Amino acid sequence: MLKADGFDDAIIGYGTQFNVDVVIYDFEKYVQILIKDYEMTDDEAREFMEHNVTGAWVGSGTPVFLRSTELTEE
């Protein structure tokens, strides 16, 4: 399983994706670590997440990022 150094506090579990075990991170906890440990603003952390973390494919075992929201019908 692939893990990001320094972000263990954002891990909320493990799952399976295409028969490969993957780490599941809480998106908001990950953002808060970026803000606290990397001195980013909220906007900077979210932009960084979108462009460099959740949008990255690092091969088999790429982590999953959970965003807790309620689904609404449009």
**Residues found in the chain:** 74
Q: So what's the pLDDT on residue 69?
A: 78
CA distances 1 to 43, 45, 53, 68, Å, are 29, 24, 16, 23
| pTM score of the predicted model | 0.87
Coil/strand/helix, residue 48: helix
- Average pLDDT per block of 10 residues along the chain, 74 residues long: 95 95 97 98 97 92 89 64
